[in-house]
Structure 1
Amino acid sequence: MTVSLDNFDRKLLVEVQQDAQIPQNELGARVNLSTAAVNRRLRRLVDEGVIERYAAVVSPEKVGCALTIVTMVEVESEQIDLLDAMKRSFAQCPFVQQCYYVAGEWDFVLVLTVHNMDQYTELTRQLFFSNNNVKRFKTLVSMSRVKVGLGVPVSIDE
């Protein structure tokens, strides 16, 4: 369900996606609102589910997880309970950064961040080889991170 957003809301969303720690008085100055109005609007955006959560962006290399892997998975059966079990398994794995159930040749696309190839090999055993519903999977190893982000483009009427 789409939420009604005015330009002030949209400007706030652009700013907090860039830096969620910006003080509300500075945020207000950037979007031409009072601090109280910024606070009310951000609270409403959270309450309405527009802002799902605030999070820190951690450098994988700085914490020893320099290897990014994209894995495509094809399933044997698209039976709902089997798909739901796979979704839960992928969602619960802390090394799976993103998981998409997709249309096309593959059924799932996963983005994983791991310490090294040995760790990924162990994860393939846990997530894919031990799951009878995995027909096959394909691994792509990232050579460099060109762009990483979860920002959503927000259009602003000018």
Structure 2
Amino acid sequence: MRTPPLDDLDHAILDRLQRDSRTIAESIAADVGLSAAAVQRRIKRLRESGVIAREVAVLNPKALGQAMTFVVEVEMERERSEVLDAFRYQVDADPNVQQCYYVTGAYDFVLIVIARDMEDFEEFTQRTFFDNANVRRFTTSIVMRPVKVGLTLPLPTKRT
């Protein structure tokens, strides 16, 4: 699907929605100077075109017993497409993996992983790394305190 050209009003709408997707069209309309119906039409177009990929509830991991976060760098044994694809599918299906990036550099993947405790993380490492002959090595950093967590994108500011 082709991305439509976006103007300053689209950017203003997207800025509001990415901070709080429950913001009602009337509130956005008042801020951007459009009617609520015009805002709703634009939001519909942004959803249909894929600019708005998903709308989700952001949950507090600690409140749900997922107290620990890990940054894991993974080096694969081989860089064959079937090996990489198999690992991608494996981590995509694992609920402990919050984010996975295929990267350049010394490692092939960087994962953001959550776990209840160290025992839970050890079980994750066993099934994901030790039981996988295609993983050469991995290194883990334990997040001591999240400083910034989010998925908001910088948007162009209004032109004057």
Tell me if both proteins adopt one fold, taking TM over 0.5 as the criterion. Answer: yes
Distance across 2 between alignment mates of 1:12 and 1:60? 28
**Is the partner of 1:62 in helix, strand or coil?**
helix
Give % identity: 42
Aligned to 1:103: 104
RMSD (Å), alpha carbons: 1.0
Aligned to 2:58: 57
CA deviation digits over 1:4-55, x for unaligned, max 9? 1000100011100111001111111111111111111111111111110001
**Contact persistence 2:16–2:28 (CA under 8 A):** yes
Aligned to 2:127: 126
CA deviation digits over 1:112-144, x for unaligned, max 9? 111111000000011111111100000000000
Aligned pair 1:41/2:47, yes or no? no
Point out 4+ residue stretches in structure 1 off by more than 4 angstroms: none
Distance across 2 between alignment mates of 1:18 and 1:124? 34
Is there any run of 5+ residues in structure 1 with no aligned partner, and where?
none
In structure 2, give the amino acid aligned to 1:39.
Q
Distance across 2 between alignment mates of 1:143 and 1:3? 41
Tell me how far 1:2 sits from its aligned partner: 5.2
| TM-score, normalised by the number of residues in structure 2 | 0.95
Distance across 2 between alignment mates of 1:43 and 1:55? 16
Task: Count matched residues.
Answer: 158
| TM-score, normalised by the number of residues in structure 1 | 0.97
**Contact persistence 2:66–2:116 (CA under 8 A):** yes
Distance across 2 between alignment mates of 1:132 and 1:39? 51
**Contact persistence 2:72–2:112 (CA under 8 A):** yes
Distance across 2 between alignment mates of 1:101 and 1:3? 28
Distance across 2 between alignment mates of 1:32 and 1:131? 55
Aligned to 1:73: 74
CA deviation digits over 1:45-89, x for unaligned, max 9? 111111100011111111111101000000011110110010010
Distance across 1 between alignment mates of 2:18 and 2:29? 15
Aligned pair 1:21/2:22, yes or no? yes
